[in-house]
Amino acid sequence: MNNSVKSLLAVLFGLLAGAVLMMLTGHNPIEGYQYLVQGGLKNPERIGNTLATATPLILTGLSVAFAFRTGLFNIGAAGQMLVGGFCATAVGLSLDLPRGMLLPLMVLAGFIGGALWAVVPGFLKARYNVHEVVSTIMMNWIAYWTVYYVIPAYFKGDSVETESRQLPANAMLRESWLSDMFQGSYINLGFFIAVLTVIIVAFLINKTTLGYELKAVGFNRHASEYAGIGVNRSIVLSMFIAGGIAGLAGVAQYTGNASSIQIGILPSQGFDGIAVALLGANAPLGVLASALFFGLLYSGRGFMNAMTDIPPEIADTIIAIIIYFAATSILIERLIRKLRLRRSANKKQED
């Protein structure tokens, strides 16, 4: 309850700061926000697009949040997502199976790919105490350049040299009934994968022994060891799961939202995942809500630009401000605590 208040305050402050920025640059903030919301929700197609935009964010946010809960700072969601998406794409392009078999296989490949990419930093942390922030960032670049080499070498597109071949419709998460329901939106099965993952992770963290152990290691490594929890195993396992979830984000992005994988780009959703996790207070349901909010911002932004004179750069800045407030929600907590302390101190003085 406290956490959700904090997050809502962060959003409110962010929106207020964005409004001030719009006013300072001579734009009407009410109009701006009105079109922002309309752009994300005006018709079924836009709602579908908002959900689709949010899908990878749900998963990367969940990946970062899960790692946070177990005491690890996973900055490598971008790389894990890229590898996960790459593995799924590779399976989709190489195997010719019926859809009912191919899709689960692709999702599995994506999960395993992302998971293995995160296990390396996990192992280095557990065994040699190498800080995961450094090693996951390095893994991002290894992923970037690996994909950069492998895609043109083995999965090169016909017309464009910087993308893989297009996935056949059979190997994509898009469903025509779903697109029709949302009037031509690019929403796809990835959204259901994301929601399902949120539920599974929430259950895992809150209701199982394994989740308890992983969290315990996050709270205090030495105490957990003393309590008989296999600390090294827990760290590696945490990273495995976190990486796997990020890998699923790659599956959703590259085989659902997009139909091919591009080289030379680290997916921005990987880094946005950190902000999503912070705003969602590292709770699975919080992550779901905050990812949907980010999806709305990203999805509605273009319509706001098109309908008003607010330049795209200002829209980006507004989003950045909201992220900033979300990321510094800990400051808000301190502020509240300080105000409370002062009030009680004042009360005492008056007494």
Partner 1 sequence: MKKGVISLISLALSVTMLAGCGSSNTGTEPSGSGSAGEETPKANFKVGMVTDAGTIDDKSFNQGTFEGIVKASEDFGLEHKYLKPGGETEADYTKEITNLYDAGFKFIVTPGFKFETAIFKAQDRYTDAKFVLIDGAPNSGEPGAEPVVKENTVSIFFAEHESGFLAGVAAALHVKEGQAGFIGGLEIPPVQKFNWGFQQGVNYANENLGTNLVINKENVVYQGSFDNVAAGGQLAAQMYNNGVDVIFAAAGGVGVGAITEAKSRAEQGEDIWIIGVDVDQYSDGIYDGDKSVVLTSAVKKIDAAAYDMIKAELDGNFPGGQTITLDAKSDGVGLPEENPNLSEEVLSQVDEVFNKIKSGEVTVSAEQGDLIK
Residues that bind partner 1 (CB under 8 A): 20, 23-28, 39, 45, 49, 52-53, 148, 158-162, 165-166, 184, 186, 257-260, 262, 264-265, 268, 298-299, 301-303, 305-307, 309, 312-313, 316, 342, 346, 349
Residue 122: closest CA among 34, 244, 297: 244
Closest approach, Cβ 266 to partner 1, in A, equals 11
Q: With 0-12 CB in 10 A as exposed, 13-18 as middle and 19+ as buried, what is 344?
A: exposed
Beta-carbon count within 10 A of 211 CB? 19
Q: Whole-number minimum distance, CB 202 to partner 1, in Å?
A: 28
Contact 62, 245 (CB under 8 A): yes
| Smallest gap from residue 29 Cβ to partner 1 (A) | 8
Kindly tell me which of 2 and 349 has the beta carbon lying closer to partner 1.
349
Q: Nearest approach, Cβ of 103 to partner 1 (angstroms)?
A: 19
Identity of the residue, 227 or 265, whose beta carbon is nearer to partner 1 in the bound complex: 265
CA distance linking residue 84 with residue 108, whole number of Å: 9
Smallest gap from Cβ 42 to partner 1, in A, equals 8
Closest distance to partner 1 from the beta carbon of 68 (Å): 25
Nearer to partner 1, 19 or 327 (CB): 19
Select 241 or 248, whichever has its Cβ closest to partner 1.
248
Residue closer to partner 1 (CB basis): 104 or 311: 311
Closer to partner 1 by Cβ: residue 25 or 220: 25
Tally of CB atoms within 10 A around 47? 18
Residue 6 or 301 with smaller CB distance to partner 1 = 301
Q: Please state the closest distance from residue 6 (CB atom) to partner 1, in A.
A: 20
Q: Do the beta carbons of residue 118 and residue 246 sit within 8 Å?
A: yes
